[in-house]
Amino acid sequence: MALTIGIIGLPQSGKTTLFNALTKAGAPISGYATSTVQANMAIVQVPDARLQPLAEIFNPHKVTPTTVEFVDVAGMGQSEQSGKEKQGLSAEFLGHIRNADALAIVLRTFVNDNVPHIYQNIDPYRDLESLNAELSLTDLASVERRLERTNRAAKSGDKKYQQELETLRHLQNELNELKLVSQLDITSQDQALLSELFLLTAKPRMYVLNVSEDVLGAANDLLNKIASGEDVEVASLQGELASIARVALQAKNERAEVVAVSARLEAELSELPEEDAHEYLESLGLPQLGADRVIQVGYRLLNLITFLTAGEDEVRAWTVTRGAKAPEAAGKIHSDIERGFIRAEVISFDDFMACGSFAAATKKGLLRLEGKEYVIKDGDIAHFRFNVAK
Ligand code: GDP
């Protein structure tokens, strides 16, 4: 099953606009808060700067990037909107994000009087706290349901339930304080229980700051500074940049990723032919499409890496989970290749580019033969030898 990144955020934060930019799928954009739960799903290509140089060498019939799945779910912040007491999220909404493997949390920092905010003013840090509270309360409900079950089971006297009860009570206490499960120390023993609970605050997350177009460059500089540990005087910042810094510092604390985009600009750029879009980006002094960054960071969040295959027929990127061994990678191409795996011929992308061909790489002894235990690395170019008895 494909790994999925769920896009969540308050209504009107720009989720759908971002989703459109990611996928160019043309999902309808509303100028008002959506009241029903709708989900858009899309499989998007993962930009990979290694494909083009390989294509120039092999001149293949086809170049195939690898993909990752995003799902855009409308429907958070509903409890505030309807004035109901907060009780976590609706079942329908949850069905969509429970199964996501990571979350992209969109936070609005852009200012636009024509786009109402459910809390009236712009404050992404407050929005984040509010979203986190909803997620924590939802997790609390899941933990409490499980607690009831485990309590009943523990009455049989079976010891294994005691440990589970302890863990669940610990989670219950922390979630009651609106903590994120991802920030707790969880023993490997408890990990198994966690994976059964599908808790929302345990998922890896990235923050996507939807910033005003005119602060995009400054926002990127600021995020880079904060990420690299440079001292940033938040008190000297004003307006949008101050609130961006606040979220970025929080993200750093949580070891979460943070990316600044202008969703509207991205959506406009995604309408342009690729070359024009890049020219326009350059003219704005931006190194890369924000949508591409979101996809790449999302891919990393999912703990995925890319290996490559290259030949005259096709240059192609493939996805495996970090830590996968050679036969598993072979299985991505075809189950027969995994079944009949003999060995892999492997070279790193950089070594290959330095040689320019497999023949030159072989001469230099850089094309390695690896066996079943070899752990695939990001950027490996692999060719698998296999034999399947007829
Ligand atoms: P969602 O409810 O989170 O899916 O938000 P939408 O993507 O539907 O966006 C809500 C409104 O905000 C729409 O009218 C968008 O045109 C507008 N919007 C979204 N992103 C931006 C942005 O980056 N800048 C500005 N100025 N407006 C935006």
pLDDT tens digit sequence for 198-257: 999 999 999 999 999 999 999 999 999 999 988 888 888 888 999 999 999 999 999 899
Q: Locate the ligand 1 atom nearest the alpha carbon of residue 11 and give its number.
A: 2
Quote the ligand 1 centre to 118 CA distance (angstroms). Answer: 13
Q: Locate the ligand 1 atom nearest the alpha carbon of residue 30 and give its number.
A: 8
| Least confident among 88-92, 102-106, 180-184, 306-310 | 88-92
Q: CA end-to-end span of the chain, whole Å? A: 29
Q: Locate the ligand 1 atom nearest the alpha carbon of residue 112 and give its number.
A: 26
Could you write out the DSSP letters of every residue in 186-216?
Answer: --HHHHHHHHHHT-GGGS-EEEEEE--GGGH
pLDDT tens per residue across span 263-283: 999 988 888 888 888 888 888
Pair of tokens at residue 32: 């008002």
Q: Does residue 345 sit in helix, strand or coil?
A: strand
Q: Which residue has the higher pLDDT, 50 or 271?
A: 50
Beta bridge partners of 67: 45
CA atoms within 13 A on the CB side of 84: 10
Q: What is the pLDDT of residue 38?
A: 63
Q: Which residue has the higher pLDDT, 289 or 212?
A: 212
The CA angle 97-98-100, to the nearest 5 degrees, is 60
DSSP state of 120: S
Q: What percent of the chain has pLDDT over 70?
A: 92
Q: What is the pLDDT of residue 160?
A: 82
Q: What stretches of the chain adopt beta strand conformation (E)?
A: 4-9, 39-45, 62-64, 67-73, 102-108, 205-210, 257-261, 304-310, 314-321, 341-348, 368-370, 380-386
Taking the C-alpha atoms of residue 19 and residue 151, their distance in angstroms, rounded to an integer, is 42
> Which band of pLDDT confidence, cut at 50, 70 and 90, is reported for residue 27?
low
Whether 47 shows a pLDDT value over 60: the answer reads yes
Beta bridge partners of 261: 210
CB atoms within 10 A of CB 258: 24
Q: Locate the ligand 1 atom nearest the alpha carbon of residue 210 and give its number.
A: 23
pLDDT tens per residue across span 67-84: 998 888 766 665 544 444
Taking the C-alpha atoms of residue 248 and residue 175, their distance in angstroms, rounded to an integer, is 23
> Which band of pLDDT confidence, cut at 50, 70 and 90, is reported for residue 30?
low
pLDDT tens per residue across span 145-197: 999 999 998 888 788 888 899 999 999 999 999 999 999 988 877 888 998 99
Residue nearest to atom 17 of ligand 1 (CA): 14
Residue 158, class by beta-carbon neighbours within 10 Å (0-12 exposed, 13-18 middle, 19+ buried)?
exposed
C-alpha 305, offset from chain centre:
13
Residue nearest to atom 19 of ligand 1 (CA): 14
Q: What is the pLDDT of residue 157?
A: 79
Q: Which residues line ligand 1 (CB under 6 A)?
A: 9, 11-17, 29-31, 74, 110, 112, 115, 210, 262-264
The single residue listed with the structure tokens 């229980």 is 193
Q: What are phi and psi of 106, to 5 degrees?
A: -90, 125
379 to 59, 166, 268, 312, 346: CA distances (angstroms):
19, 43, 31, 19, 10
Greatest Cα pair distance in the chain: 72
Whether 326 shows a pLDDT value over 80: the answer reads yes
Q: What are phi and psi of 153, to 5 degrees?
A: -65, -35
Where are the domains positioned within the chain? 4-123+200-301, 323-386
Q: Locate the ligand 1 atom nearest the alpha carbon of residue 29 and give its number.
A: 8
Asked if 97 and 138 count as a contact pair (C-beta separation under 8 A), the reply is: no
Domain 4-123+200-301 has CATH 3.40.720.10: no
Alpha helices in 30-107 (DSSP H): 51-58, 78-81, 91-98
Q: What is the pLDDT of residue 29?
A: 57
Whether 25 shows a pLDDT value over 60: the answer reads no
Report the candidate in 211, 266, 286, 264 with the shortest Cα–Cα distance to residue 242. Answer: 211
User: Mutation test of ligand 1: which of 13, 17, 80, 284 has the most ligand atoms closer than 8 Å to its C-beta?
Assistant: 17
Taking the C-alpha atoms of residue 222 and residue 243, their distance in angstroms, rounded to an integer, is 11
Quote the ligand 1 centre to 264 CA distance (angstroms). Answer: 7
Residue 3, class by beta-carbon neighbours within 10 Å (0-12 exposed, 13-18 middle, 19+ buried)?
middle
Quote the ligand 1 centre to 32 CA distance (angstroms). Answer: 9
CATH classification for the domain delimited by 323-386, as one of 3.10.20.30, 3.30.470.20, 2.60.40.60, 3.40.47.40: 3.10.20.30
Taking the C-alpha atoms of residue 379 and residue 381, their distance in angstroms, rounded to an integer, is 6
Taking the C-alpha atoms of residue 302 and residue 71, their distance in angstroms, rounded to an integer, is 14
Question: In what side-by-side order are the strands of the sheet with 314-321?
Answer: 62-64, 314-321, 304-310, 380-386, 341-348, 368-370
Q: What percent of the chain has pLDDT over 90?
A: 62
Quote the ligand 1 centre to 116 CA distance (angstroms). Answer: 10
- What pTM, to 2 d.p., does this model score? 0.88
